[in-house]
């Protein structure tokens, strides 16, 4: 029933999410984006416990099919264009603990049953619905009748204030001044000048510098260091592990990147994007607090500097699929679309289950509107991963990210440096292109794999990577196509290893990946 409910929601709102095919929760590694499943044990089917359709372009009223999500705990429908009354059936979903309807166009009164649930602990978010009344006693007609006298009263008061203010201004001009005030500086002349309460972030996740010192045990354990500053290990409330990125005082672009990253991570949420836990903006102290990713970055694992073991071909493909899904979300799930602008293997982090998530959004850019295809901007990114077309024209497009992802995919396949220190050795794209023409695939693939891979899967991955790094952006695939092709690579590799027994049969996996099949997903 729950699977049918999700399918009906998808059809009603014409949601075109690439991963929304087949079984929403199985296989676990390739579950649908924007929802979360609970896996209790192998004998019990997974349950959908969270659905995030924030900023998904939803319109119209809420259909009754939502009440069939009987196990849902968190339902986020914020920042859409939903209209009509808030349906009372939402109060009947007993498992619901968070309901976010903010930023829509609901009208009328909130059902009393929902307000009762709120008193019992339901987190109910309704702000940003100007015509929605939280009390059943609201009377729109009465409000309208009171509007004229209220406006008249306010107008009278404003006239008096203007007259008094004008009197004092004229009087001040006549009085001599003993000292002149210093001229105000433009924003660019005052370093990273900020208001004490920045407008671009919410107070809910703001930490003081003292709290940052406490959570990091006075910056005791260093996780890494980059252009932004040093990253420290921390712990919030004594339980939640976090990574704290502290801005270096010498970072000239630090506040600009800090602001960009907080703005982005406050409004986008995806299982393959690193989550922002909070931030610190106190005087000269700037810090970003992220979820902790215990398995480091992809680059460390490819180089053998993390754990000393070699990632299998199947594991590499799954990391690639995860990262591609995160990038696809930025390109197609955000309105307006976003470009990451710094995709590289060190910005792909791995959690405790080796699920990959994109990180470091300091260079990310949004398009001005949903229909824009590019934005003209100063070139930024990492040498070796930088789209040559973007470098030459300053035109940033989604295909610039596709190029960078293609470079990462070549890294995953070859485990070679992007740019060799020796000038005699070419860029990885030139090197792979030359060997592909000879047909000698054995010299392309990472020798540490010792031939443990499906040859068809590897060839498809190489072809995909080379199409991503095409010199012409128009000939590069979209990230949606990249996701689809990578999932086919996974299926091909699993057919070699017999992984189907771990994933509730190969047919189920093919269904969830969008391969045409007659298999019916398990009911919830």
pLDDT digits (tens, 9 = 90+) for 165-179: 665 555 544 443 333
Label residue 217 by pLDDT band (50, 70, 90).
very high
Closest CA to 321 of 28, 14, 100, 517: 28
Binding site membership: which residues?
245
The whole-angstrom separation of Cα 360 and Cα 438 is 38
Tens-place pLDDT, residues 394-416: 788 899 999 999 999 999 999 99
Burial class (CB in 10 A: 0-12, 13-18, 19+), 509: buried
Domain 298-512 sits in CATH at 1.10.510.10
DSSP bridge pairs for 358: 273, 348
Name the percent of the chain in helix, strand, coil, to the closest 5. Answer: 40, 15, 45
Q: What is the mean pLDDT of the chain?
A: 77
Ranges of CATH 1.10.510.10 domains, the chain:
298-512
Q: Are strands 132-133 and 105-109 parallel, antiparallel or unpaired?
A: parallel
Query: Can 342 be counted among the known catalytic residues?
Result: yes
203-291 maps to which CATH number? 3.30.200.20
Task: Exactly one of 100, 342, 401, 454 is catalytic; name it.
Answer: 342
**Distance in angstroms (rounded) separating the CA atoms of residues 342 and 376:** 16
Supply angle C-alpha 274, 275, 278, rounded to 5.
Answer: 135
Between 5 and 493, the more confident residue is: 493
DSSP-based three-state secondary structure for 9: helix
- How much is the pLDDT for 71? 87
**What pLDDT digit, counting tens, does each position of 412-467 carry?**
999 999 987 666 668 999 999 998 888 788 889 999 999 999 999 999 999 999 99
> In this predicted structure, what is the pLDDT of residue 488?
94
> Which parts of 192-270 fold into alpha helices (H)?
209-215, 254-267
Which pLDDT does position 344 carry in this prediction? 94
DSSP string covering 74-136:
EEE--SSEEEEEPPGGGGG-TT--EEE--SSEEEEE--HHHHHHHHTT-EEE-TT-TTEESST
**Residues of the chain with pLDDT > 70: what percent?**
74
Q: What pLDDT, on the 0 to 100 scale, is given for residue 496? A: 84
More confident residue, 189 or 157: 157
Report the run of H or E that residue 459 belongs to, with start and end.
helix 455-468
**What is the structure's pLDDT at 489?**
95
State what percent of residues in the chain have pLDDT above 90: 30
- Position 194 scores a pLDDT of 41
Helix (H) or strand (E) holding 366: strand 365-366
Omega before 361 within 30 of 0, i.e. cis: no
Helix (H) / strand (E) element for 376: namely strand 375-376
Residue span(s) of the chain under CATH 3.80.10.10 come to: 2-133
pLDDT at 154 over 90: no
Question: Which comes out higher in pLDDT, residue 185 or 106?
Answer: 106
Enumerate the known binding-site residues for ATP: 245
Whether residue 27 has a cis bond before it, omega within 30° of 0? yes
Both tokens assigned to 32: 């649908």
CATH architecture of 2-133: Alpha-Beta Horseshoe (3.80)
Q: What is the pLDDT of residue 1?
A: 61
Per-residue pLDDT band at 499 (split at 50, 70, 90):
low
- What contacts 261, CB < 8 A, 6 or more positions away? 276, 288, 360, 361, 362, 364
Q: Tell me the mean pLDDT in the region 78-105.
A: 89
Closest CA to 413 of 396, 393, 428: 428
pLDDT of residue 250: 59
Q: How far is Cα 3 from Cα 524, in angstroms, rounded to an integer?
A: 6
Chain segment 197-216, per-residue pLDDT in tens: 343 344 447 899 999 999 99
Give the tens place of pLDDT for each residue, 327-371.
Answer: 999 988 887 788 888 899 999 999 988 999 999 876 666 544 444
- Rounded to two decimals, the pTM is 0.58
Q: Which residue has the higher pLDDT, 363 or 523?
A: 363
Distances (CA, A) of 263 to 77, 259, 373: 20, 6, 21
* CATH 3.30.200.20 residue ranges for the chain: 203-291
In angstroms, the CA 340 to CA 322 distance is 15
User: Under a CB-based contact definition with an 8 Å cutoff, are residues 80 and 58 in contact?
Assistant: yes
């Amino acid at each position: 029933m729950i699977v049918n409910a999700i399918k009906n929601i998808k059809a009603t709102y014409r949601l075109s999410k690439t991963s929304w095919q087949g079984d929403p929760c199985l296989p676990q590694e390739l579950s649908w984006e924007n929802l979360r499943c609970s896996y209790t044990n192998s004998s019990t089917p997974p349950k959908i416990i969270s659905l995030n359709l924030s900023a998904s372009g939803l319109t119209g009223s809420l259909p009754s099919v939502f009440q069939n999500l009987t196990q849902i705990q968190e339902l986020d429908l914020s920042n859409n264009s939903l209209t009509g009354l808030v349906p009372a059936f939402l109060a009947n979903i007993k498992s619901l603990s968070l309901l976010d309807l903010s930023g829509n166009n609901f009208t009328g009164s909130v059902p009393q049953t929902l307000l009762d649930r709120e008193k019992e602990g339901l987190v109910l978010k309704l702000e940003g619905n100007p015509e929605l009344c939280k009390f059943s006693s609201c009377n729109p007609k009465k409000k309208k009748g009171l509007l004229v006298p209220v406006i008249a009263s306010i107008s009278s008061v404003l006239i008096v204030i203007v007259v008094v203010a004008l009197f004092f201004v004229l009087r001040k001009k006549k009085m001599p001044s003993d000292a002149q005030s210093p001229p105000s500086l433009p924003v660019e002349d005052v370093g990273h000048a900020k208001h004490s309460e920045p407008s671009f972030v919410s107070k809910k996740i703001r930490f003081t510098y003292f709290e940052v010192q406490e959570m990091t045990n006075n910056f005791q354990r260093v996780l890494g260091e980059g252009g932004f500053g040093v990253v420290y290990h921390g712990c919030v409330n004594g339980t939640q592990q976090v990574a704290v990125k502290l801005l270096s005082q010498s970072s000239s672009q630090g506040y600009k990147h800090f602001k960009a990253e907080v703005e982005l991570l406050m409004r986008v949420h995806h299982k393959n994007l690193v989550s922002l836990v909070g931030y610190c903006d106190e005087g000269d102290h700037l810090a970003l607090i992220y979820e902790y990713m215990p398995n480091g970055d992809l680059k460390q694992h490819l180089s053998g500097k993390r754990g000393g073991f070699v990632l299998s071909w199947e594991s590499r493909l799954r990391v690639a699929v995860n990262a591609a899904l995160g990038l696809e979300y930025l390109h197609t799930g955000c309105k307006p679309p976003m470009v990451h602008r710094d995709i590289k293997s060190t910005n792909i982090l791995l959690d405790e289950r080796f699920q990959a998530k994109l990180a470091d959004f300091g260079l990310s850019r949004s398009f001005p509107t949903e229909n824009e295809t590019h934005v003209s901007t100063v070139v930024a990114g990492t040498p070796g991963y930088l789209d040559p077309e973007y470098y030459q024209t300053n035109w940033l497009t989604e295909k610039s990210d596709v190029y960078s992802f293609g470079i990462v995919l070549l890294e995953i396949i070859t485990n070679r440096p992007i740019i060799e220190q020796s000038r005699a050795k070419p860029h990885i794209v030139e090197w792979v292109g030359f060997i592909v023409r000879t047909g000698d695939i054995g010299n392309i693939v990472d020798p540490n794999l010792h031939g443990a891979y499906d040859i068809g899967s590897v060839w498809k991955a190489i072809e995909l990577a080379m199409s991503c790094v095409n010199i012409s952006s128009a000939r590069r695939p979209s990230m949606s196509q990249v996701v689809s092709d990578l999932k086919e690579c996974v299926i091909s590799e699993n057919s070699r290893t017999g992984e189907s027994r771990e994933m509730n049969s190969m047919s189920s996996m093919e269904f969830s990946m969008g391969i045409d099949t007659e298999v019916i997903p398990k009911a919830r």
